[in-house]
Structure 1
């Protein structure tokens, strides 16, 4: 899959003595290794660590969450430096670890507690902090962590009790990175923009097939990164992670997603859009990872594999810091001259490589429930064989970008989201009419059922119109030439997969506000056609082309209305204008 044999070996750390009893986590205190820390236990543990090691660990509240309790931020550095601006000036990369977005998948919660302690208590591991800063969100979905139970993860082998996937408002926070309905996501965005990490890791547990691996990995799709950063991820970082985990006796495989019934039918990469953590991170040239432990393995090994992966990532970031920083700088430099941006993606049709996959033979037998054939995996029949893997993606929609977007101040929710996510905005200082492009929404499809609190739009078809656009003093201007350009484009272009339009932020434009009484408009329409022979000819041509229109009086009246000055010009008009740079803009 990757050129693993060419990768230089990472340091192999011999097992350390167990921690002193006072520093053992709830997971470590359980002889069965089947306990995960509660939210209160987790926060208290980090508070104790910060109090005991103030020169290396700091902890603070980082904003509200939907349940009323705060989000927490833990920063670990060799010299106690917690100023992100200063750290960027020192060219010190940031490894950002977020746990408990799905608190029923809690391995990262316990692994990160152990890792934070070991980094300050074990000198041999503390050396990994030389030139790297670690930021940890102990539990992101605080409300879900408080909703503790033992039954909602029916497919999962432990721990004994755990949190719930939905947050306090029943949002799946790993679908909220762009729309940011939750206070959790808004607090996270501020934290992410503060740190602007080089690498972002969000810990998970899988569902799906049975196989031999304890740990699987979703990286950011390399195709979706700038060429320099994608090449670095593919050729340097991923091989090092795979090699390092193999040394620790945790062979890695890509996240096990497949189109057929079992993995050998052909695996495919997880194509994350910006609603997901790794897709969101990619908008800011941050390499994202979602490690997914296998739900059927015992909880103890799952926590240990997560711990070892986080340790391997830290060692990799430290060792490859110059290459990582150079690749990210190259990505930002390339974006500065980019004139076309991708808006949607699809996996390639054909596999791009093969994976030597360690699975179990599968078969069918009668179900004890229904008597019908059911799938099962036979752990007594393990195999290792090549499996086709589709791991490349191509853009299915692109757009040439304007010089700037002009956002009317009426759309405050959109402006707030842009600001939270690092978009630089200025405001018009006076009323002005400027030449610009506007979109009219001609067609779209809407999901029949709500998804994460919204009725998602897709297959958006637009008509572009050019001409003067009246703007008011106080309206916002977002120039595309800025570090957050990709986020800006993918949220404000309506046809993008996770645009604000797709999530329903602009739904009010899709409803017509004025119409007519037909008996009144009949006379107006007749007068329009008498005074405008060209309009009459257009109607006649339309009737020849459309038999239904020709046979319907009301339809013809509606046609005249839609082609008349009486038809409201803002109906279906997307309110964000694309300014192409003609003439000056009076901005603050």
Structure 2
């Protein structure tokens, strides 16, 4: 066994805390999680006394368990009945038919900006729910109502409710509490924090509608991290760590104001905060931590694309649940105070971002060859290694020994940037796409008469369907852009890029974008091979084309010479020639969305 002075290696699911909630199962250890780091902080004073009539279910249980949906709802309804500051609404229904709850804490007044906080998008990571109940109690009944003087709080206690109710000791087994936790995905198996762009789940659609309705000045998404042991207990981040954000004004507010303010509040309360360290390789921590752009599949990426300052809270999984909940409370309270102080500054930043009209969008990137920075005293935990008879490889056992070391920060270099068109044209029959555009609030209009236009047409090259992910079969491909003149029928939809959500439209409609509808596999019909007539008809038509069209003949001969497999395949030869016939059209591998370029714009 050897001691390695590095801190961030993922625990496997086998490194679970078996039997946290009940007695150990026969043949399994009572606990295999690493030693708990000693901790006490000023935030412990936030916990209600055991005799308090308004003690939350989590506090009553000593933070050993977390309440289920029905108990959470009942407690909130009792609080709403006791305080005029609290109102409960439903804003959607889950796939299994449960009401999605939002709690508005407000002193009234019109046009007050809103801070939107959500918990349980990954419902096993439920710290935000129990912290939010405590904070709401203290706002409503314990003298913290001044937090609502200039802003309203809207709190979603459980986003992924169906997953939350599928509680088990085996869900998120590396999290140190609560005893039983919900599932990461919905009842349909969709990870809601991968669904903001494609919006397949009813829960996602309800949340997007709520975001549009509230247009918050701050959006906070509460999670718990995985993969590390380290001294930090409360971590948080933003899209691309702020560095790689697509909208600069809101990103600059997050990095310049939110981060320092919340860090100070957490440190004063006895916590050890930092920006969320995302590992390059959990088995080789010396490779460093990652900073990278984010697409709109994520809450933080979506917030960036729509110009809403969005924070991802990532509490450290191996810290006790009590400590994590209390740190979350401190962060949320500090966020509310700051939003109230900076409400005008945030509103101006949002307006600046929404008035911007980027000419380009980064579509692909790769890790930078050299670090873009270093953390000189990363607060880690040492581990020892042993040869596991189960895995057959060296595994880690965290020793509990605090260490510090120098951690490289790995940034990203651009690989592909697309030039945004003047507009995108979507066929009227693409109902699934139009539905998403409406949901997101992207502006478009239909033409009422045919229109002939010079367009950029995109055809896929070497498409590869990827393994299933979150209810879709993603697609990867290369692309050929061809300038064409095409007459679009009445009813075709024009989506202009000159609009506040033009960048989000680009992320969804540009084929190269990693979260585009194409990338998520929205157009499987275009993978259907083009049909050809019976060969006794196709062959003489192809022969006539070869005899009469020198350009096609030269291209055909070149392809025969360069591709022996094609040359030996009679069917492929006929299909290729038939596709070259005048006025022959095929949707095979043709991206259905056309791009309208300005007069001098280059083709991507």
How high is the TM-score relative to the length of structure 2? 0.85
Question: Hey, what does 2:421 align to over in structure 1?
Answer: 402
Question: Hey, what does 1:198 align to over in structure 2?
Answer: 217
Question: Hey, what does 1:498 align to over in structure 2?
Answer: 515
- 1:95 matched to 2:115: yes
- Pick from 48, 69, 72 the counterpart of residue 98 of structure 2: 69
Identify if the C-alpha distance between structure 1 residues 366 and 470 changes in structure 2 by more than 3 Å, giving closer, same or farther: closer
Identify if the C-alpha distance between structure 1 residues 570 and 285 changes in structure 2 by more than 3 Å, giving closer, same or farther: same
Identify if the C-alpha distance between structure 1 residues 471 and 398 changes in structure 2 by more than 3 Å, giving closer, same or farther: farther
Question: Hey, what does 1:7 align to over in structure 2?
Answer: none
1:557-576 maps to which residues of 2 (within 5 A)? 557-565=574-582, 567-576=584-593
Deviations 1:252-293 (A, max 9, x none): 123232234254442223653321111111111122222122
Question: Hey, what does 1:35 align to over in structure 2?
Answer: 65
Deviations 1:155-180 (A, max 9, x none): 12221222222211121211111111
1:440-479 maps to which residues of 2 (within 5 A)? 440-447=459-466, 449-472=467-490, 474-479=491-496
- Pick from 428, 434, 438 the counterpart of residue 415 of structure 1: 434
- Pick from 253, 261, 264 the counterpart of residue 274 of structure 2: 253
How many equivalent pairs are there?
Answer: 553
User: Shift of the alpha carbon at 1:343?
Assistant: 2.7
1:108-123 maps to which residues of 2 (within 5 A)? 108-123=128-143
User: Shift of the alpha carbon at 1:27?
Assistant: 0.6
Identify if the C-alpha distance between structure 1 residues 126 and 434 changes in structure 2 by more than 3 Å, giving closer, same or farther: same
User: Shift of the alpha carbon at 1:182?
Assistant: 1.0
Structure 1, 364-373 or 555-564: larger mean CA deviation = 364-373
Supply the distance in 1 between the matched residues of 2:477 and 2:574 (Cα, whole angstroms): 29
8 Å contact kept, 1:220–1:287: no
User: Shift of the alpha carbon at 1:35?
Assistant: 1.6
Question: Hey, what does 2:320 align to over in structure 1?
Answer: 298
SS for the counterpart of 1:225 is coil
Supply the distance in 2 between the matched residues of 1:156 and 1:13 (Cα, whole angstroms): 21
Deviations 1:401-458 (A, max 9, x none): 22222222211111111111111222222343333332222233321x2111111112
- Pick from 167, 171, 175 the counterpart of residue 190 of structure 2: 171
Identify if the C-alpha distance between structure 1 residues 284 and 344 changes in structure 2 by more than 3 Å, giving closer, same or farther: farther
Question: Hey, what does 1:156 align to over in structure 2?
Answer: 175
Supply the distance in 2 between the matched residues of 1:139 and 1:370 (Cα, whole angstroms): 36
User: Shift of the alpha carbon at 1:459?
Assistant: 4.0
Identify if the C-alpha distance between structure 1 residues 567 and 23 changes in structure 2 by more than 3 Å, giving closer, same or farther: same
Identify if the C-alpha distance between structure 1 residues 351 and 468 changes in structure 2 by more than 3 Å, giving closer, same or farther: same
Supply the distance in 2 between the matched residues of 1:565 and 1:248 (Cα, whole angstroms): 74
SS for the counterpart of 1:452 is coil
User: Shift of the alpha carbon at 1:140?
Assistant: 0.7
Identify if the C-alpha distance between structure 1 residues 262 and 546 changes in structure 2 by more than 3 Å, giving closer, same or farther: closer
Question: Hey, what does 2:11 align to over in structure 1?
Answer: none
User: Shift of the alpha carbon at 1:24?
Assistant: 1.2
Deviations 1:19-47 (A, max 9, x none): 773311101112x3212111011122222
Supply the distance in 1 between the matched residues of 2:390 and 2:571 (Cα, whole angstroms): 58
SS for the counterpart of 2:53 is helix
Structure 1, 319-328 or 129-138: larger mean CA deviation = 319-328
Supply the distance in 2 between the matched residues of 1:155 and 1:68 (Cα, whole angstroms): 30
Question: Hey, what does 1:521 align to over in structure 2?
Answer: 538
8 Å contact kept, 1:440–1:465: no
SS for the counterpart of 1:110 is helix
Identify if the C-alpha distance between structure 1 residues 101 and 17 changes in structure 2 by more than 3 Å, giving closer, same or farther: closer
User: Shift of the alpha carbon at 1:395?
Assistant: 4.0
- Pick from 79, 85, 94 the counterpart of residue 49 of structure 1: 79
User: Shift of the alpha carbon at 1:528?
Assistant: 1.7
SS for the counterpart of 1:224 is coil
SS for the counterpart of 1:159 is coil
User: Shift of the alpha carbon at 1:567?
Assistant: 4.4
Question: Hey, what does 2:48 align to over in structure 1?
Answer: 18
User: Shift of the alpha carbon at 1:502?
Assistant: 0.9
- 1:80 matched to 2:108: yes
Question: Hey, what does 2:527 align to over in structure 1?
Answer: 510
Deviations 1:515-552 (A, max 9, x none): 13333322111122222233323323443444555555
Question: Hey, what does 2:408 align to over in structure 1?
Answer: 388
Structure 1, 321-330 or 61-70: larger mean CA deviation = 321-330
SS for the counterpart of 1:171 is coil
- Pick from 301, 305, 311 the counterpart of residue 333 of structure 2: 311
Deviations 1:54-97 (A, max 9, x none): 2x2222110121110121222222x324x6xx33xxxx3x3211
SS for the counterpart of 2:164 is helix
Supply the distance in 2 between the matched residues of 1:16 and 1:364 (Cα, whole angstroms): 39
8 Å contact kept, 2:43–2:330: no
8 Å contact kept, 2:115–2:217: yes
Supply the distance in 1 between the matched residues of 2:414 and 2:211 (Cα, whole angstroms): 26
Structure 1, 508-517 or 409-418: larger mean CA deviation = 508-517
8 Å contact kept, 1:436–1:469: no
Supply the distance in 2 between the matched residues of 1:132 and 1:393 (Cα, whole angstroms): 37
8 Å contact kept, 2:245–2:293: no
Identify if the C-alpha distance between structure 1 residues 263 and 326 changes in structure 2 by more than 3 Å, giving closer, same or farther: farther
Identify if the C-alpha distance between structure 1 residues 193 and 344 changes in structure 2 by more than 3 Å, giving closer, same or farther: farther
Question: Hey, what does 2:265 align to over in structure 1?
Answer: 244
User: Shift of the alpha carbon at 1:486?
Assistant: 1.4
How high is the TM-score relative to the length of structure 1? 0.88
Identify if the C-alpha distance between structure 1 residues 349 and 552 changes in structure 2 by more than 3 Å, giving closer, same or farther: same
Supply the distance in 2 between the matched residues of 1:544 and 1:284 (Cα, whole angstroms): 51
- 1:273 matched to 2:295: yes
Q: CA RMSD in A?
A: 2.5
Supply the distance in 1 between the matched residues of 2:43 and 2:317 (Cα, whole angstroms): 26
Identify if the C-alpha distance between structure 1 residues 543 and 531 changes in structure 2 by more than 3 Å, giving closer, same or farther: same
Supply the distance in 1 between the matched residues of 2:44 and 2:95 (Cα, whole angstroms): 42
8 Å contact kept, 1:57–1:80: no
Question: Hey, what does 1:434 align to over in structure 2?
Answer: 453
- Pick from 365, 378, 382 the counterpart of residue 361 of structure 1: 382
Identify if the C-alpha distance between structure 1 residues 129 and 460 changes in structure 2 by more than 3 Å, giving closer, same or farther: farther
